[in-house]
Structure formats: structure tokens, C-alpha cells
Amino acid sequence: MDIRLDKNAYGKNAIHLSKIIRHPDRHEIRHISVNIALQGDFETVHTIGDNTKVLPTDTMKNTVYALAKDHFTTSIEEFGLHLADHFLTNNSQVSDVTISLTEYCWQRMTFDGVPHPNSFVNGGSEKHEALVIQDRRKTDLSAGINDLLILKTTDSGFEHYIKDKYTTLKETSDRIFSTQCDITWKYDSVPPDPGQRYKAIRENLLHTFANHKSLSVQHTLYAMGDAVLKTFPDIKEITLKMPNKHHILFNLEQFNIKNHNEIFIATDEPYGYITGTLTRS
């Protein structure tokens, strides 16, 4: 029987790093998690236990902390690109490097309209994501937002859908629209300032969500992706996952009280799950 090792990789996951960037008048706090995966000439470590081509995963972890001192000063995209280049440059047996980064959001405390120089409050569930996949010919960069919880109280409806004998949902032209979405986009090429580009794309997504007259979650999903692709020509693809965080109008009429779209039941489960990927034709 002819048995061979097919695609394989190894690395270090969940490398958590916090860094204080000290400015003369204020501090910044950055908290990230890094995953590293290497592919390459590693067959003999599997087949005969030869470790001579293996960079220990503990060394990968230490490398993240050491390089963060001088090279994690801007965006996680740029730090990920530097890490990938480091592992490729210094390990001839490595053919492909994948670096996945997550940044947890902290917001500066503000008192009487004045930002505090060194105190922060957690920014909630939202996270900034980046993915670098690099080999010896090219670099692919993706970025995105994870667990972005957004809501608007009007300009959303759901009508004219299929109704069968099991349908109980009532049509509405005015409802709460809330979603905790994951959004990922792929760049055609690495932008000159990935951190600023991330902020601009996030602002574009939020602006579209807030101002779009939504006839369904799908309708707004498409509008958000469409706006990003039209505004940023170096993005070749965007994927949006938008679970519908239902807010169901509560029946106050049983108590002889009118409910003018004011009182809702907020439910976690079950929920609608809507996804879509937009690309350039």
C-alpha cells in the first residue's frame, strides 16, 4: 500500500498580547490574539520523527512578543505582514505562512468631554480581524469585523413573503432591525495604510446600514456589500454574515393597552441567519 503525507501544517494558536504605546501626553492600549500556521518541507518529522526542520511553536510564541516591541505600532494587518515575512525569510523549509489576528476593542474614558490619558472601558463584543496568507510568490490580505452588534429602530420592514398553513408571522413595514454581524473583505493588493482603510470601510458599512430603507435583512446585506465594493476599488470580495436578532412586538392589547411599536420581546434564540458574498463581475 502506497501511503503519503498530504497537506499538513503546524503552528501556535491563541497567543494573547497586550501592549502599551506610551506617548508624552497619553497611552494607547492594544490587546490582540495571534494564530500562526506554517506549511513546508515537514514530511520527515511525521514519517521518521526528524525534528531538524521544525521551528518549535514555543519559539513562534516568543517571536510574536519580541517583534511586537518595535513592529506592532500601527495596524494588526501591518503586524501580521511583518510576522509572515519574518517566518518566511528565516526558515527556508517553510513555503507558506498563515497569520490570523484578532484585536479586542478598548475605548478611552471621557470625563466632562475630556479624554482620560490612560484609562479605558471595554468596547463590547466587536473585534477587528485580519488574515495574512503569504508564500514565496505572493501575499493575500483579508480583514474584517467580528461580532459587530448594530441596531436601528425604524426604516426596516418585512412584507409580501410566502405564506402557507404554518405561517404565523405578521407583515410589518416598521420594525426594529438588529444584527450581530461578521464581515470579511479580501484585498486585491495590500493598501498603503491598512489601519486607516479598515476604519474607512467600517464607517462605510455603518453609514449604509443606518441610512438604508430595509425591506429585508438580505436587502440591507446586499446594500452594505455593494457600497463597500463601489467605494473601495482594491477590495475584490466581501462576505457578510448577518443573524437577525429578533425583537418581537409584545401584545399589550390583552391588557387594553395600545402598543405603538414601543414594547418588544428581545429574543436570542432561535434566530434567522443570513449570509452573502459579493464579488466583482
The one catalytic residue in 31, 53, 246, 247 is 246
Q: Is 246 considered catalytic here?
A: yes
Containing 142, the helix (H) or strand (E) segment is strand 139-152
Q: Cβ(143)–Cβ(80) under 8 Å? A: no
Angle at 247 between CA 244 and CA 251, to 5 degrees: 145
Structure-block grid coordinates of residue 31: 490587546
The one catalytic residue in 19, 53, 57, 74 is 57
Q: Is 57 considered catalytic here?
A: yes
Distance CA 275, CA 154 (A): 22
Q: Which residue pairs, CB below 8 angstroms and at least 24 apart, start in 88-94?
A: 88/134, 88/135, 88/136, 91/38, 91/40, 91/55, 93/40, 93/41, 93/42, 93/53, 94/38, 94/39, 94/40, 94/55
Catalytic residues, which ones? 12, 57, 246
